[in-house]
């Protein structure tokens, strides 16, 4: 069975396409599905796997952020569990879901040989309709599920899902295990370290943490990744403060992650810095 129980009535399935995690939290009132995978078609497999658990009916969906690999299955869950199925996200993520989805559709449309091209293009984008700005609580009867926007990082609207009774935290792409953290064109590299500080404050030494991609981790892993993300932020500040031009920045420093994955991080970091923290480019 794809779903494995990693804490009391908290299950995770790790799917090979994009190595993405889908999580399920159970309570006496039903199940909450956290993230819905990358297309309407592949989400049918997710629905079948959820039903195979035999743990109850899905009563809500949560999107940890707006990217397609976490939201494109929304339409399928609505088809399977009713048009009124609530989908929760931060207001920022919900507002950006359609635009983000259309961008990824254009990218897949240009990749004629990608095996997932047609199913991505055929997916109807359904954004969340239950939104909040800082925190919200889902009542599952015998337990509460907390949704927290800890700050900007992987995107501007990331949320984490905390299940206090199970000491479990579902972190979305604020934490990644199978690859370095994904700094995209909508990331906030200078905010990310402080955002992870708040995430860490939501955990205990015994917490189980589910990243957006890859294997389940612990608090120590998150601490280590926070340190590396902090190094990226401070290196960007140092380079800009010394007047290193953006075009030269990647080659001008040692990085904790492969430099080829950090072009957007450096560009976005330079954009985030106020003029007072930048010097004129070195001659």
pLDDT at 57: 98
Place 282 in a pLDDT band, splitting at 50, 70 and 90.
Answer: low
pLDDT at 38: 98
CATH of 4-189+207-217, one of 3.40.630.30, 3.40.50.2020, 3.60.15.10, 3.30.230.10: 3.60.15.10
Residue among 214, 224, 131, 206 nearest 169 (CA): 206
Which pLDDT tens digit goes with each residue over 83-120? 999 999 999 999 999 999 999 999 999 999 999 999 99
The arithmetic mean of pLDDT across residues 10-24, rounded, is 98
**Residue 64: is its pLDDT beyond 90?**
yes
**Residue 55: is its pLDDT beyond 90?**
yes
Structure tokens at 83: 């048009």
pLDDT at 2: 93
pLDDT at 276: 76
Would you say 8 and 166 are in contact if contact means Cβ atoms under 8 Å apart?
yes
Query: What is the Cα–Cα distance from 143 to 161, expressed in whole angstroms?
Result: 13
For residue 231, report the phi and psi dihedrals to the nearest 5 degrees.
-65, -40
**Residue 199: is its pLDDT beyond 70?**
yes
Residue ranges of domains in the chain: 4-189+207-217
Q: Say which residues have a Cβ less than 8 Å from residue 135's Cβ, sequence separation at least 6.
A: 146, 147, 148, 149
Could you tell me the pTM of the whole model?
A: 0.96
Query: Over the range 52-78, which residues count as b (16 or more CB within 10 Å of their CB) and which as e?
Result: ebebbebbbbbbbbbbbbbbbbbbbbb
Query: What is the Cα–Cα distance from 29 to 86, expressed in whole angstroms?
Result: 14
Determine the Cα angle at 195 with ends 157 and 16, to 5°. Answer: 65
Query: What is the Cα–Cα distance from 111 to 230, expressed in whole angstroms?
Result: 35
Q: Which residue has the tokens 């402080």?
A: 194
Neighbours of 20 (CB within 10 A): 24
Which DSSP string corresponds to 95-126?
HHHHHHHHHHHHHHHT-TT-TTHHHHHHPPP-
Which pLDDT tens digit goes with each residue over 209-222? 999 999 999 999 99
Q: Say which residues have a Cβ less than 8 Å from residue 89's Cβ, sequence separation at least 6.
A: 62, 63, 64, 65, 66, 97, 127, 128, 130, 131, 157, 159
pLDDT at 1: 62
pLDDT at 45: 98
pLDDT at 63: 99
């Amino acid at each position: 069975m794809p779903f494995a129980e990693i804490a009391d009535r908290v299950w995770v399935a790790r799917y090979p396409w994009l190595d993405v995690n889908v999580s399920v939290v159970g309570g006496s009132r039903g199940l909450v599905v956290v993230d819905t995978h990358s297309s309407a078609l592949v989400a049918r497999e997710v629905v079948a796997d959820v039903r195979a658990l035999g743990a109850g009916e899905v009563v809500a969906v949560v999107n940890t952020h707006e990217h397609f690999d976490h939201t494109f299955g929304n339409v399928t869950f609505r088809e399977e569990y009713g048009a009124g199925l609530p989908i929760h996200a931060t207001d920022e993520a919900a507002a950006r879901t359609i635009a983000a989805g259309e961008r990824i559709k254009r990218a897949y449309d240009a990749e004629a040989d990608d095996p997932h091209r047609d199913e991505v293009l055929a997916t109807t984008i359904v954004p969340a309709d239950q939104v909040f700005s800082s925190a919200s609580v889902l009542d599952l009867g015998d337990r509460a599920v907390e949704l927290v926007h800890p700050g900007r990082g992987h995107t501007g609207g990331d949320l984490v899902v905390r299940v206090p009774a199970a000491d479990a935290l579902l972190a979305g792409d604020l934490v990644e295990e199978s690859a370095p953290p994904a700094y995209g064109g909508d990331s906030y590299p200078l905010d990310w370290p402080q955002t992870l500080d708040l995430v860490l404050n939501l955990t205990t030494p015994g917490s189980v943490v589910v990243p957006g991609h890859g294997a389940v981790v612990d608090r120590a892993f998150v601490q280590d990744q926070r340190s590396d993300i902090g190094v990226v932020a401070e290196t960007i500040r140092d380079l800009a403060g010394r007047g290193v031009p953006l075009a030269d920045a990647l080659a001008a420093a040692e990085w904790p992650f492969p430099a080829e994955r950090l072009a957007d991080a450096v560009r976005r970091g330079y954009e985030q810095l106020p003029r007072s923290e930048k010097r004129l480019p070195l001659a």
